[in-house]
Structure 1
């Protein structure tokens, strides 16, 4: 499986190369050249979320240096529960907050951290992770990458714009995790990170990569729980679900849509938006 840039001006790469690079050299995001089709029957013998995750992600890693280690990565990364809580016979909530930092971003951050560490061990290489956060992302990334050999993490967050609890999650780690309060808003933090990635000399000197949702390693685990939600509802009701997703950067929405394109039995995907109209403005 190869991955190409959404801007179309970078050569195809493997999953591992996309994960280590974060952004494509032309500034685009890495996406698969095609979506593999998965029959729901392959999940008949899966007894854990980690096993299900392996079945979903395996086609993306065919021929990759991590292909033989993917099952272990999934079992290590997804070692916490994922309950589907039913309110009544028609409505259920997928509880994505049972990870170490109580954020859905633990799924992507833990998978990314474990995959990156294994890749760096193979290459005897060091990496610097740049992260812009408005709270949850930085905490999840810091927890996932803490004390991982060969990886330094620099977290940028807007000063005075995160809760006290979130700031403590960002700044309590030490060791290989450093957090910086930026005089500005989240968009300023994100702009600084993107500018750093567009500086080729800086990327090479520091071995820069990203752990934000732009990284393929963060997005692929979000595909998994689209399959999981579909499968659990089918098992319990015999019906294909409509999945309603609170949407910000539309990472979960994108992951769930990818799952549907790959064969997950999902009737509809509904995006729930707040006063932030960016996605709605784009669609309209």
Structure 2
């Protein structure tokens, strides 16, 4: 796979280079020069999840690796299912929380970690490798667990202090070892801005071998495209499927659109946001107006300046498609989120705020002759307080969360400054 920098199209790289650089000149995102279209999607959908994912990712990335490498990395990364659960006659849920950190980001983070470890082993990168990522909740845990204990890699994760759930925090801020976590005095956009600023200092980037495991890195998005194929493989009705994606930084939706470009017959996507509604307002007005981030129950989506949006615009421009008319959207309020949680519970399905946003948005955008699917991106117990208070009942903790909850926090509290971040990165190697 060849990729180019969206800000400087003359900067073209291989997939291996894109993974190790993470981001291009002037913080430009890497984007594929072309995506192949699979001719026989029905045959693909007939395969088991891991075998199908090996076929897809080997076709996309195999030219950059020795024969058999990509299938082996997929097998090591995808060790858990992505089941579809029928919620009503027309609507189903894709459960993406059966991995080790109970969130959808386990798919992309684990594949990316396996790729990076392989590239280090074969000598593609010399010197230290430092993974620097911002998280609004689930990325931190997925990245921390995916890279935990890998040799010659240090991980530094930034998150907005007091703005993620306590169980989310415990899941990745209690590991220690090669995982360093920073509670930043600011919101997620501040954390993301710091990561971007860090990558503009080329001398610092080179000295510590900086890389990112955010959805800035194309490896995560390419891997995530595979579970959209798995979703349709399990649906009994694949005609006119509309998929609602809870969206904060818009990496998950980008992955879905990649799958569609590869030939997956998705009729339409819904960009589902909470009160941080930059994209829905933009699609309605054509004006990109970033407001201050508002804290919500669906905190992993509390993003006002979504980093992956340029990739989505590029995808639609490449295909000469109209964003404003083809990409459905909705911004769901807090009362609507709570009402959706209760409605799903009455239907016999236990969800959490992000899935509730996706469900409410899907209902608003689903037509009578269509089949709906919404993404459940995290286990309900990760948002135990919100779910319990809304549904007025107790949730048992899965073993992974119960174990993490017993461990002490190891985070460092830091101001939202580049100097503080750089100091922490240097300290990780001392």
TM over 0.5: yes
Specify the SS of the correspondent of 2:26.
Answer: coil
> Higher Cα Rg: structure 1 or 2?
2
State the Cα deviation string for residues 88-125 of structure 1 (Å, max 9, x = none): 33211000011111111111110111110011111163
Offset at 1:45? Answer: 5.8
Q: Distance in 2 between matches of 1:238 and 1:182?
A: 44
Within-5 A mapping of 1:75-94: 75-94=75-94
Specify the SS of the correspondent of 1:26.
Answer: helix
Q: Distance in 2 between matches of 1:154 and 1:77?
A: 21
1:32 alignment counterpart: 32
How high is the TM-score relative to the length of structure 1?
0.93
Q: Distance in 1 between matches of 2:207 and 2:168?
A: 31
Does the 8 Å CA contact 1:223/1:255 hold for their aligned counterparts? Answer: yes
How high is the TM-score relative to the length of structure 2?
0.63
Does the 8 Å CA contact 2:232/2:238 hold for their aligned counterparts? Answer: no
Does the 8 Å CA contact 2:8/2:25 hold for their aligned counterparts? Answer: no
- Residues matched between the structures, number: 281
* Counterpart pick for 2:170 among 158, 168, 182: 168
Q: Distance in 2 between matches of 1:272 and 1:182?
A: 27
Specify the SS of the correspondent of 2:25.
Answer: coil
2:44 alignment counterpart: 43
Does the 8 Å CA contact 1:110/1:141 hold for their aligned counterparts? Answer: yes
Q: Distance in 2 between matches of 1:44 and 1:226?
A: 10
2:152 alignment counterpart: 150
Farther-moved stretch of structure 1 (201-210 vs 261-270): 261-270
* Counterpart pick for 1:140 among 139, 142, 146: 142
Within-5 A mapping of 1:111-126: 111-123=111-123, 125=126, 126=128
Show structure 2 runs of 5+ residues with no match.
286-430
State the Cα deviation string for residues 13-55 of structure 1 (Å, max 9, x = none): 11111111111123111111011011314426623x2211112
Specify the SS of the correspondent of 2:186.
Answer: coil
Q: Please provide the CA RMSD for this pair.
A: 1.7
Show structure 1 runs of 5+ residues with no match.
none
Structure 1 runs (4+) greater than 4 angstroms displaced: none
Specify the SS of the correspondent of 2:109.
Answer: helix
**CA spacing shift, 1:67–1:218, aligned 2, 3 Å:** farther
2:204 alignment counterpart: 202
2:263 alignment counterpart: 263
Offset at 1:59? Answer: 2.5
**CA spacing shift, 1:20–1:266, aligned 2, 3 Å:** same
Specify the SS of the correspondent of 1:89.
Answer: coil
Specify the SS of the correspondent of 1:267.
Answer: strand
Offset at 1:151? Answer: 0.9
